[in-house]
Structure formats: C-alpha cells, structure tokens
A and B are shown apart, each in its own frame.
Chain A
C-alpha cells in the first residue's frame, strides 16, 4: 500500500511539472528575460514607430532582408499574422536590415504589401539586438523584456504558432 501511495505521489508530481511547462512551437526558445534594446524607426511613409511598454501588449519584433532566402519565404506567413494582429493582441515591429527604401518597397510591395515594415537603413539598430542571423524574431513582454527568441524562418500561420501567440496576447504564456 505504501509503495502504491508513493508511486501515486510521484506520478502526480510529474504530471504537475509537465502541465506547468507547455511545449513550445518548433524553433521558439524561452530565454532568461533581458531588457529589449531601444527600437525607434521610420516606415516607408516616414512615420515613426517605437517599441515601448506602454501599450500593455506583447511585441513581435522581426528582422529581415530581401536577399535572405528564408526571409523571403517567411514574409507571406508574417503578413497572414499581421492581418490577425487585433485578435492576437500583439504589436508588430517588422524591421528591414540595411537595405534602401526602393529595394524594400519593391520587395514588400509585391510579396507582402500589408506588412508595415520599418527601415533600419544603416543596420545599427539590428546590431544592438544581436540576432543569431536573418531572419530573427523576438517576443517582448509587456514590461519590455525579451522572453522568447525564434530561430530561423517559420510558418507563422500554422496553428501551433497562432495558438502560442494568442496565449501571449492574453498575457498567459
């Protein structure tokens, strides 16, 4: 009997541990929280967008370049996400790294015209974020801390990611 109770306790403890650590979508890594670097950039219409923690929403910060194959493949999927931004309750900061306005306009206008991309014209803002490569995505919490990094390009419209992002938007990661 004692053995049975001991096994039951161990099983319940194990179950509780796993219930508290939901699996993350492929490529998403939880990291030790660190403050997000400053980000204030203009878009193609010369409107300035700044990352701050006053909106009470998580931020999806993404760096890309048109010469990068995985970035090109990923962009339509990001556009699909952006269209759901109000239901996801996320702020999007899609940042082109070190390309000219004309190059960005020609690419984004034909591939993902609904993505409001920001221009890091000299690439120095991108460098402050220390991406592992391009593309790179960071998920920043409501207090301005980077909590997740995402390795490489992903199919963001896949339910694994939309469900995960929806939970972030509910401040329930």
Chain B
C-alpha cells in the first residue's frame, strides 16, 4: 500500500491530536486521591480484576472513537467497570453473566445487558458502527474460557451512589458439570469524579 503523506498530515491534524488530548484528559482529569481503586483476586483457579471507570473516562474513550453526543450522554447515565478474567485451570472455565450477583442493601442490581444497550442505541438513533464498537468494548455475556485464555471488557449497571458487592460464580468443564468456583468483591462503588 502506498502511503499518501499529505493525507497522513491531514489525518494527524484532524484525529491524532484530539485523541492525544482526550487521552490526556482521561488520564489526568481525576486527582490520584479520588481515583477509585482496582480490586483483584488471584488464585489457582482464576485471576480477576474489576476497575471502576468514571463517566469522564468513558466519555473520553468513546469521543475518541467519534461517538455522537446522544451516545456519550447515554454512557454517562451508567456506571462502568472494566473487568479482566484469566482462566488458570487446565479445564474450561465458564464465564456467564447470569451467574453474577450485584447486591446492595440486600437487593440485587441487574447489570445492563447487551440487549439493554441495543435498545438504548435504537431509541436514540445511533449508527450501527457505533453500536458495534460499543458491543466489542463490553465483557461478553457468556464465554467458555479455554485453559490460559483471558478476556476483558466493560460491564455496566444503572448508576447508584451506594456501595455494593459482586458474587461471581464460574462453572467448569466442557458440559459445565465440573467443580463450581465463586469469588466475591466487596465495597464496589461507581466512580464519581466529584469525590
């Protein structure tokens, strides 16, 4: 492929610099003391981390992907966490969002599903390409993680100012009949820039 230098220069001015700026804002707009902590679990079955993301961090990311304002506004209404999971077993580990329980004050909070987001995008008339990109940034609802395989992505909930816990169970084995493993994260909070 021949690279058109003039075109590269145009692209640099139009996209790279705004991206750099948005990346800088995402990295520095929240004082270090206010940054919500990442929680991690690392044992012989799995490695898992969950990191609260602020509305500004999410907005900066999707603005960098050229998302339109109505889509950005929708992301600001939700509470995002970036989740990473690595299977440490020599067997299949099943990630199934239906086996995750977010609980606050004894009540369960339902995470926003991919179907929920699709409905939001359709109501707001968001272009298919943005719907597609957004979906790829979400943690899959279901995945048979092979030995050593890792996956990452965002999970979202309706925004709340309460703390909550996450109890996540994982089935194992090709037919899900192996030993079940459960991990728990406590004192999770939506990341609030005003903290």
Residue numbers of A with Cβ under 8 A of B are: 29, 44-45, 65, 67-68, 97-100, 102-103, 105-106, 108-110, 113-116, 121-124, 126-127, 132-134, 151-152
CB of B133 closer than 8 Å to a CB of A:
yes
Is B132's CB under 8 angstroms from A98's CB?
Answer: yes
What string of 1s and 0s marks CB contacts (under 8 Å) between B64-92 and chain A? 11100000000000000000000000000
Is A67's CB under 8 angstroms from B65's CB?
Answer: yes
List residues of chain B with CB within 8 A of the CB of A152.
149-150
List residues of chain B with CB within 8 A of the CB of A127.
132
How far is A126 from B129 in the complex, measured between Cα atoms in Å? 11
Nearest CB to that of A29 among chain B residues? B146
List residues of chain A with CB within 8 A of the CB of B27.
none
Nearest CB to that of B139 among chain A residues? A133
How far is A114 from B3 in the complex, measured between Cα atoms in Å? 9
A113 and B1 in contact, given A97-B132, A99-B129, A103-B66 (Cβ under 8 angstroms): yes
CB of B14 closer than 8 Å to a CB of A:
yes
Residue numbers of B with Cβ under 8 A of A are: 1, 3, 7-8, 11-12, 14-16, 61, 64-66, 127-133, 135-137, 140, 143, 146, 149-153
How far is A151 from B130 in the complex, measured between Cα atoms in Å? 24
Is A151's CB under 8 angstroms from B149's CB?
Answer: yes
How far is A151 from B143 in the complex, measured between Cα atoms in Å? 12
How far is A11 from B181 in the complex, measured between Cα atoms in Å? 38
Chain A interface, >50% SS class? loop
Is A106's CB under 8 angstroms from B132's CB?
Answer: no
How far is A78 from B138 in the complex, measured between Cα atoms in Å? 25
How far is A68 from B138 in the complex, measured between Cα atoms in Å? 12
List residues of chain A with CB within 8 A of the CB of B153.
133
How far is A132 from B140 in the complex, measured between Cα atoms in Å? 8
List residues of chain B with CB within 8 A of the CB of A68.
136
List residues of chain B with CB within 8 A of the CB of A115.
1
Chain B nearest Cβ from A44, distance in angstroms: 7
13 A-B pairs within 8 Å (CB atoms) are namely A98-B136, A100-B129, A102-B15, A105-B11, A106-B15, A106-B16, A109-B3, A122-B129, A123-B131, A126-B132, A132-B151, A133-B151, A133-B153
List residues of chain B with CB within 8 A of the CB of A114.
1
Is A109's CB under 8 angstroms from B146's CB?
Answer: no
Is B136's CB under 8 angstroms from A65's CB?
Answer: yes
Chain B nearest Cβ from A94, distance in angstroms: 11
Beyond the given pairs A102-B11, A132-B140, 7 more chain A to chain B contacts, judged by CB atoms under 8 angstroms and listed by A's residue number, are A45-B1, A98-B132, A105-B11, A108-B1, A123-B133, A124-B132, A126-B132
How far is A110 from B151 in the complex, measured between Cα atoms in Å? 27
How far is A97 from B130 in the complex, measured between Cα atoms in Å? 10
Partner of A97, one of B11, B16, B66, B136: B136
